[in-house]
Amino acid sequence: MPITEFLSRNAALYPDDISLVEINPEAREREGRSWTEYELVEMDPTRRYRRQITWKEFDEEANRFANALIADGIKKGDKVGILLMNCIEWLPVYFGVLRSGALAVPLNFRYTADEIRYCLDLAECDALIYGNEFLDRVDAVINEIPRTRLIYYIGSDRPGYAKDYVASISKMSSDDPGIELTDDDDAAIYFSSGTTGFPKAILHAHRALVHACLCEQKHHGQTRDDVFLCIPPLYHTGAKMHWFGSLLSGGRAVLLKGIKPNWIIEAVSNEHATIVWLLVPWAQDILDAIDRKEIDLSKYELSQWRLMHIGAQPVPPSLIKRWKKVFPDHDYDTNYGLSESTGPGCVHLGVENIDKVGAIGIPGYGWETRIVDEKRNDVEQGTVGELAVKGNGVMKCYYRDPAATAEVLQDGWLFTGDMAMQDSDGFIYLVDRKKDVIITGGENLYPVQIEDFIHTDEAVKDVAVIGIPDARLGEIAAAIIEIKEGYEVTEEDINEFCKALPRYKRPRKIIFDKVLRNPTGKIEKPKLREKYIGDSLVKVQITS
């Protein structure tokens, strides 16, 4: 069945239950209000501190938008771009697109004007809905996207070429438009992270989205009583597919607009969140704020918080050990996935396997895995190779790119480009991206292994290891290190710390700087390479 059926079911079974909450702590702080006052004005449309909708309201708004799209000429198989910051309209818009029979095409909120134009063109979008945060960027390319003939706008200062979203849906029926959908129908186009150039368009069917629901709920056991705190951007498969567990169970989700540590802890406490998905930097920031006594945990109600899980990037084991010291009662989990595999869950650690911290896990619910060599033959257990996955969540193709599709899809297997190894218990450890492996003097260096080690230094907030050219060795490892506030660390300190590593694995250059990450928490190594390779202005120390 299509994923829209889960929303219909929740609206019928739990019409008055709260489905979504949006909280905006920045707006609250800007007004200088306390959380109590914040709650008192929650429904004041001029002060959007906190908004909420029920499952029935969610379902009806999705139907209204679907009917608006159909009335404006959108047909089954058309594509609708979604360019919104996280907000309470986001998911009803997404499901409205699906209900119309069109494909939802979420866009990264960090895209430049040129990237917006490129992605709308690549996905052949017939319509676009966007928020006022993107007015200047869309304005800059509106005349270059003629195929995108229908524009909806959410916010003030609406341009003349766009239709007002609220006004458009207010005139429409709240009944399901009745467009027939099947598991095999195309549902959505997501974009790769674009860390190696302009992103690829990833086509998924309804079957894949439904599988993501089943996978997430199976892994984390969401019930109707759970409250999921969602912080990452909804345009990305990671955040949305984790929320799909709430969709399947009928549980509440809270969309937090902001990532400050005190905002996260406040939201967990005041919204009674039971499940929180964090990115590595946010978890580190929370622990650092607690260490600096900027957050007093005794002032918050956190006993209901049962699960903290991290995905989207390799997780330093030292971080989880540190987290468990502060929050010993939390279950911990991590998921591995790609947008090409409907986001997280094709490999899954499992809360019962805390002793395997450092591994990404075992095949997720409904998934198969292999580790293969360059000829795509299975390698022996304990040998590093490329990870391949297979299941109902695998993409149909890279849209309009058969050559790129053929490179990664073979007999239902998705070849991920990630290097991994499997231990004797069957647990998979992510070693690195295939393209990020550093070959120095004939030895393969896997940056993630070096990063995990350097993360164990209590003064290190974040680290990225990249390869840079070297006349004698071909490449050498350079470590870009971000130091925690309040610590003073020298290059000599890092070099001394790294003496515990085998000599060939020690970084040969140390650079103190901020580690660049994208909105989903992945280290932007191409940007780091661009910044540092051949930059004679960078002050580094080459170690012997």
Are domains 4-258 and 437-542 of this chain identical in fold?
no
Class of domain 307-433: mainly beta
CATH architecture of the region 437-542: 2-Layer Sandwich (3.30)
Residue identified by tokens 């990020």 is: 436
Mean pLDDT per 10-residue section of the chain, whose length is 544 residues: 96 98 86 55 56 97 98 98 97 98 94 92 98 96 95 95 97 97 97 69 97 94 96 88 94 95 96 92 91 95 95 77 94 91 91 90 96 95 95 97 96 93 93 75 76 91 89 82 92 93 87 84 81 53 34
Q: Is 4-258 a CATH 1.10.260.40 domain?
A: no
Query: Cα(272)–Cα(376) distance, rounded to whole angstroms?
Result: 47
Query: What is the rounded distance in angstroms from the CA atom of residue 477 to the CA atom of residue 468?
Result: 7
Does the pTM surpass 0.85? The reply is no
Task: Give the three-state DSSP class for 225.
Answer: coil
8 A C-beta contact, residue 264 and residue 272: no
What's residue 542's pLDDT? 34
SS3 at position 506: coil
Sheet order of strands, 343-348 included: 50-54, 18-23, 252-256, 227-230, 275-278, 307-310, 331-338, 343-348, 362-363
CB 115 within 8 A of CB 88: no
Asked if residue 202 lies in contact with residue 192, where contact means CB atoms within 8 angstroms, the answer is: yes
Q: CA 216 → CA 8, 279, 344, distances in Å?
A: 19, 17, 8
CA–CA separation, 422 and 420 (whole Å): 7
Q: Which residues contact 296 (CB under 8 A, 6 or more apart)?
A: none
Residue 294, number of CB atoms within 10 A of its CB: 10
In the prediction, which pLDDT does 110 show? Answer: 83
Report the alpha-carbon distance of residue 527 to residue 520 in Å, rounded: 15
**Alpha-carbon gap, residue 97 to 310, rounded angstroms:** 29
Q: How many CB atoms lie within 10 A of CB 103?
A: 26
For position 30, what pLDDT does the model report? 73
State the pairing for strand pair 201-205/397-398: antiparallel
Phi, psi for residue 148 in degrees, rounded to 5? -80, 85
Question: pLDDT value at position 41?
Answer: 47
What is the predicted pLDDT for the residue at 541?
Answer: 35
Q: Where are the domains of the chain?
A: 4-258, 307-433, 437-542
